């Protein structure tokens, strides 16, 4: 979903980051507020003041979106759902929950937590706006508070649309799930609402564009296309996780493994293994005991002049630092490991014995075939 992400803060163990697309929105929003909204709403102030208000308004929105997503994240943590991170991007933010809800109740409360936070923020800013007006607070402060009250109102209204994967779209899925006892059917119906709302935004945006509202029209078309894609992507991700949850890694792992001895020199390893088989990772085995693994990274850590004399034993990655999985783990656990790390190979281990290797390529190949067959069956 994201282009490039920058982490900047961790709150209660939850990493919060910014996608490059958010930086574009931050600049555009600051410019729009400083040159349009605040000068029209509060005339007579200096240019510098308007730019300061624009920047503070943008930062206030930034904080509100983070708090909205933290509402989802904290509720997910309450129900023992693992949180990967929170990312701010072009159209707001997303709390990346690594596990699907286990029941309609969990889905409902995790989904509704964000809008409840936004509702609380909206009411708080409106109260502050009324208080500021009665106490004659500086116009700059009143203007920023008024803007944040209004923008939180729009965020709340947008998320109240029952279009999956928006928040209330997920609430709708939870309600349908509870009524039908069928999460797959509930997901399909909620996805239809999401794609339909995306199509509506696209046509409404085209209508506005033809009517002369060029900027608003273009943004609505982009938003509609994004919602359509997000709805279908969320549905696909859900069904993939359902498939992987019931599959064990033993079904996908390779039993024919190319292992290496710890007594091999680095030079011998390069010539007889690395140059010939081109694997990402080689398990290092002594007898039947798995000691660790070695990859190109470990080889590069040793000076080239030492390659003829040093053995793999001296540079291998110990088993305690390797990414390993039990053969009884689910394929979904493996997928999460691949997504959270930069590795492309997992060692399937029981005790200290190597049973097999699972690569991301093998798992993705299975998913590709599965999705293609299901698409063919639907046609």
Residue bearing the bigger pLDDT, 113 or 223: 113
Characterise 96 by phi-psi region: left (phi > 0), alpha (psi -120 to 50), beta (else): beta
Residue 285 has pLDDT above 50, yes or no: yes
**Cα separation of 323 and 348, whole Å?**
9
Residue 68 has pLDDT above 80, yes or no: yes
Residue 91 has pLDDT above 70, yes or no: no
Residue 1 has pLDDT above 50, yes or no: no
Determine which of 54-58, 91-95, 178-182 has the lowest per-residue pLDDT on average: 91-95
Q: Do 259 and 338 touch, CB atoms closer than 8 A?
A: no
Q: Looking at residues 81-90, what average pLDDT do you find?
A: 79
Which of 3-12, 230-239, 252-261 holds the top average pLDDT? 252-261
Tokens representing 255 are 């039993």
Determine which of 25-34, 84-93, 146-155, 209-218 has the lowest per-residue pLDDT on average: 84-93
What is the per-residue pLDDT for 141?
A: 94
Q: Helix, strand or coil for residue 261?
A: coil
Q: Looking at residues 285-308, what average pLDDT do you find?
A: 88
Q: Do 6 and 18 touch, CB atoms closer than 8 A?
A: yes
- Under the banding of pLDDT at 50, 70 and 90, the label for residue 126 is very high
Beta-carbon contacts of residue 326 (< 8 Å; ≥ 6 apart): 249, 348, 349, 350
What is the per-residue pLDDT for 295?
A: 85
Closest residue by Cα to residue 148 from 47, 33, 69: 33
Q: Looking at residues 143-170, what average pLDDT do you find?
A: 90
Closest residue by Cα to residue 126 from 149, 148, 155, 144: 149
Residue 339 has pLDDT above 80, yes or no: no
Closest residue by Cα to residue 133 from 151, 119, 150, 145: 145
Which pairs with CB-CB distance under 8 Å and at least 24 residues apart come from 349-353?
349/290, 349/319, 349/324, 349/325, 350/326, 352/289, 352/290, 352/319, 353/288, 353/289, 353/290
What is the per-residue pLDDT for 209?
A: 85
Q: Helix, strand or coil for residue 357?
A: strand
Domains belonging to the chain, first-starting first, are: 5-245 (no CATH), 249-369 (3.10.580.10)
What is the per-residue pLDDT for 2?
A: 47
pTM tops 0.75: no
Residue bearing the bigger pLDDT, 37 or 235: 37
Average pLDDT, the chain: 85
- The model's pLDDT over 174-197, given as tens digits with 9 standing for 90+, comes to 999 999 998 888 888 888 888 888
**Exposure class string for 203-230: b at 16+ Cβ within 10 A, else e:** eebeebbeeeeeeebebbbebbeebbeb
What is the per-residue pLDDT for 348?
A: 87
Angle between helices 139-159 and 47-78 (to 10 degrees): 40
Q: Chain centroid to CA 44: how far? A: 43
- The model's pLDDT over 297-315, given as tens digits with 9 standing for 90+, comes to 889 989 999 999 999 999 9
Tokens representing 248 are 């064990």
Determine which of 187-201, 210-224, 272-286, 330-344 has the lowest per-residue pLDDT on average: 330-344
- Under the banding of pLDDT at 50, 70 and 90, the label for residue 286 is confident
- Under the banding of pLDDT at 50, 70 and 90, the label for residue 336 is confident
Residue 378 has pLDDT above 60, yes or no: no
In 247-301, where do the E strands start and end? 282-286, 289-294
Q: Which residue matches tokens 């206030």?
A: 60
């Amino acid at each position: 979903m994201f282009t490039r992400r920058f982490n900047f803060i961790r709150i209660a163990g939850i990493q919060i980051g910014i996608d490059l697309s958010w930086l574009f929105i931050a600049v555009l929003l600051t410019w729009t507020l400083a040159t349009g909204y605040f000068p029209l709403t509060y005339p007579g102030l200096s240019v510098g003041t308007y730019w300061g208000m624009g920047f503070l308004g943008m930062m206030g929105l930034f904080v509100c979106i983070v708090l909205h997503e933290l509402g989802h994240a904290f509720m997910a943590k309450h129900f023992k759902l693992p949180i990967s991170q929170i990312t701010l991007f072009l159209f707001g933010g997303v709390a990346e929950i690594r596990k699907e809800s286990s029941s309609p109740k969990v889905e409902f409360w995790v989904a509704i937590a964000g809008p409840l936070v936004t509702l609380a923020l909206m009411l708080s800013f409106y109260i502050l706006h009324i208080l500021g007006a009665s106490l004659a607070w500086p116009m700059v402060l009143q203007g920023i508070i008024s803007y944040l009250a209004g923008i939180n109102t729009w965020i709340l209204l947008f998320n109240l649309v029952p279009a999956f994967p928006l928040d209330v779209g997920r609430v709708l899925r939870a309600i349908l799930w509870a009524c039908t006892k069928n999460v797959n059917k509930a997901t399909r119906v909620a996805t239809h609402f999401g794609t339909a709302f995306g199509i509506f935004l696209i046509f409404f945006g085209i209508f506005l564009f033809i009517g002369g509202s060029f900027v608003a029209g273009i943004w609505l078309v982009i938003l509609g296309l994004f919602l359509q894609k997000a709805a279908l992507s969320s549905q696909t991700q859900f069904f993939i996780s359902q498939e992987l949850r019931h599959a064990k890694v033993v079904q996908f792992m390779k039993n024919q493994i190319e292992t290496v001895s710890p007594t091999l020199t680095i030079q011998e390893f390069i010539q007889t293994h690395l140059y010939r088989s081109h694997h990402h990772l080689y398990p290092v085995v002594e007898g039947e005991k798995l000691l660790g693994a070695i990859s190109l990274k470990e080889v590069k850590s040793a000076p080239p002049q030492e390659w003829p004399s040093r053995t793999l034993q001296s540079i291998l990655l110990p088993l305690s630092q390797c990414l390993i999985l039990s053969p009884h783990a689910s394929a979904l656990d493996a997928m999460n490991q691949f997504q959270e790390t930069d590795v492309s190979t997992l060692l399937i281990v029981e005790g200290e014995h190597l049973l097999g290797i699972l690569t991301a390529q093998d798992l993705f190949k299975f998913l590709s075939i599965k999705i293609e067959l299901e698409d063919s069956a639907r046609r």
